[in-house]
Homo-oligomer: A and B are copies of this chain.
Amino acid sequence: MRKLVALPVLSADALSSVAYGPEAMLAILVLAGTAGLAYSFPISAAIVFLILAVGVSYRQTIRAYPHGGGSYIVASDNLGPVPGLIAAAGLMTDYVLTVAVSIASGVAAVTSAIPSLAPEAVPIGVAVIVLLLAGNLRGVRQAGALFAAPTYAFIVAMFALITWGLVQSAERGFEPRPTPVITVTESAGLYLIMRAFSSGATAMTGIEAISNAVPVFRRVEWRQARTTLTWMVGLLIAMFAGIVALTHLTGVVPSSRETVLSQLAHLSFGSGWLYVFVQAATAAVLLLAANTAYNDFPRVLSLLARDDYAPRGFMRLGDRLAYSNGIILLSVAAALVYVAFDGQTAALIPLYAVGVFLAFTFSQAGMVVHWWRLRDRHWRKSLLFNALGALLSAVVFITAGISKFTSGAWVAIVAVGLFLLVTLRIHRHYTDVRARLRLRPHTMELPAPGEMGVTREAEAEVEAQAEGEAEVKGVKGVKEGESDVNGETEVNGEYEVNGEYEELPEEIHHLLIVPLATLDLAGMRALAYAASLRRPVLALHISLTDQEADRLRAYWALWGDHLPLEIVVSPYRATVAPLAHYIETLHRQHPDLTLTVILPEIITRHRRHQLLHSRTAPRLRRALRPLTKIVITTVPFHV
């Protein structure tokens, strides 16, 4: 991707943050009235310094991780699995809140312009989440040029607004307009300043996007990525500082009815098309920012799944189902948070700050360890920058976590805790299962193929094996059969199943059971399939009455062709339960038999008609779940 395309696509999230960051800071300070607002300059200066420090810090990450260094990768690589998971928990919270906050702020941009929509803000926001979900389910991805437009429009709008505002202000000799009378509800103190600082710091959310996506750049990727990051940080600082300055000069204060940006635009441009342009560009870039989470969330889920911390189904991003489940999860979580906090940007900010700066802290801390271990050229400078970034991020995280604990941050902290609990349990389950599935547990461990490309242990093992170090005894469990796949199949190979696995029986004794609901072609096909396997076959029928049983026996004499038939009379008007009971009894009586239940399955032409045919196979499978050595086979019959 060219830099001029990469910049808008990757920085939509970060730049759009100036739509709510400065306002969030001012909304806290205004509680202390004019005295509070006076702190906006020093706090903004601290935030600008923070942006710079974190920006430089991410420049180091780009150099160290040219293949993309997300917080989860960096933290788990350098700090270990649990810190990695904590970073991932921060990231997941971050993505959910990116959606919720961006949409809340975007809807506020719209309702500022069209106040009559204000009472419908929450339903509108939910509708937007549903639309984003639908769009992403159908596969709308970030298509470069199309997605570049809103970001550039927003940059133009912001600079026009700031420039024009400064020009107007210059005409007045930079004399600040008087602020309106403010009801003071709090005194300006450290507590207030801390809260304002951590709220304002959300103006830099999304700054990590470029370091995640280094490989999308043209060569030399990491150099191009660094340059783009520098531009982005420059733009971010200019826009942030410009908006704070303009707010000060115009005397605008945050209001629940109209966003600060909308008030500034009204002052500069009246209500004409320029004002509409500012609001539209703001809403568009925020929508785009929300959309970036739809790409990032499933990606992190797939990394977690790769490392056994999430259901494996999420691992394969190419599987439509996995991707869909991921973004449905994201949408539901975002919608819940959005509705629970009534679609108020200000209420969501504390949660957001906690998630984002938690991920930043662990990512930067991971980089410190990285440089310490590597100690290549310039390592001292890089370590220093990263350490500063980690320290400042940690300060913001702790500030946000403590000062806003009761006003929402606790939700994010509880979410992180739950996330850790669940992921660690999932990991334990997979570890457990892998141990039970392992071939020859004492001589070697086979990694899952999905892991092969990633874990170092697996590679080491394969190498070790190639060098003949691992003592591998082949299990001669199965021998070759003739398998020319050209339809001219003949069977003359000799098979034997000898007992080198302890878990497998020495020889598999088969009994094929064909449950028949009725004598029809579907059942006959299942019977023919069973018979063709040349193993003992037993047909099974559940009759409601003795008369029905007798009648079936009469038919069987004609049609069953001497195959053994067992009829179970079950007057309880149920099929699956007596069938399962019969098979279970058979299994208990003959535990050495492998029972294969061969079920005819009617396949209809239209999917909706499938509902009209019984789903015996899944129900039987569920009923027989605890029993071993019950194989279930479905033979389709298309009508």
> Which residue numbers of A lie inside 8 Å of B, CB to CB?
302, 311-313, 315-321, 426, 429-430, 432-434, 436-439, 446-450, 452-453, 462, 465-466, 472, 474-487, 489, 491, 493, 495, 497, 501, 503-504, 507-511, 517-522, 524-525, 527-538, 541, 543-545, 547-548, 551-552, 554-555, 558-559, 561-564, 570, 572-577, 586, 590, 592-594, 596, 602-604, 609, 611-615, 618-619, 621, 625-626, 628-639
Contact = CB atoms under 8 A, between A and B. Distances in A.
Contact of A628 (B311, B474, B534, B636): B636
A433 B601 CA distance: 12
A491 to B, nearest CB: 6
A37 B329 CA distance: 60
Given A452-B551, A480-B562, A628-B638, 12 more contacts: A318-B574, A319-B575, A426-B612, A433-B613, A446-B555, A453-B544, A466-B554, A472-B558, A478-B537, A489-B511, A491-B536, A503-B521
A179 to B, nearest CB: 44
A489 B538 CA distance: 13
A588 to B, nearest CB: 12
Contact of A312 (B536, B592, B614): B614
Contact of A483 (B321, B476, B525, B536): B536
Given A433-B604, A554-B462, A573-B318, A593 B487 contact: yes
Contacts of A517: 448-450
Nearest to A308: B612
Contacts of A491: 534-536
Contacts of A636: 628-631
Contacts of A474: 558-559, 561
Nearest to A592: B487
Contacts of A436: 521, 639
Nearest to A477: B528
A483 B602 CA distance: 27
Contact of A524 (B439, B532, B551, B628): B439
Give 4 nearest A-B pairs by CB, closest first.
A318-B574, A318-B573, A478-B531, A483-B536
15 contacts: A302-B573, A316-B573, A317-B573, A319-B576, A321-B576, A446-B520, A474-B559, A475-B561, A479-B561, A481-B563, A483-B536, A489-B509, A497-B531, A507-B532, A532-B594
A480 B520 contact: no
A523 to B, nearest CB: 8
A476 B527 CA distance: 12
Given A446-B518, A558-B472, A603 B625 contact: yes
A266 to B, nearest CB: 42
A633 B511 CA distance: 15
Contact of A590 (B487, B530, B555): B487
Given A439-B519, A462-B551, A480-B561, A631 B633 contact: yes
Contacts of A625: 603
Contacts of A315: 573
Contacts of A531: 477-479, 481, 495, 497
Contacts of A547: 452-453
Contact of A439 (B447, B486, B520, B532): B520
A528 B537 CA distance: 20
Contacts of A318: 570, 572-574, 577
Contacts of A479: 531, 561-563
A545 to B, nearest CB: 6
A302 B574 CA distance: 12
A354 B538 CA distance: 53
B537 A525 contact: no
Contact of A544 (B450, B489, B572, B628): B450
A514 B602 CA distance: 24
Contact of A634 (B478, B561, B612, B631): B631
Nearest to A541: B449
A532 B501 CA distance: 15
Contacts of A501: 521, 524, 528
Contact of A536 (B466, B485, B551, B552): B485
A74 to B, nearest CB: 22
A317 B574 CA distance: 7
Given A448-B517, A525-B503, A586 B437 contact: no
Given A449-B552, A528-B504, A633-B631, A311 B558 contact: no
Contacts of A602: 433, 437
A521 B480 contact: no
B452 A548 contact: yes
A21 B317 CA distance: 61
Contact of A633 (B548, B570, B604, B632): B632
Contacts of A453: 544-545, 547-548
B612 A449 contact: no
Nearest to A630: B636
A621 B465 CA distance: 37
Nearest to A430: B612
Contacts of A446: 518-520, 555
Contacts of A626: 638
Among A317, A503, A532, A535, find the residue whose CB has the most chain B CB atoms closer than 10 A. Answer: A532
A563 to B, nearest CB: 6
B478 A563 contact: yes
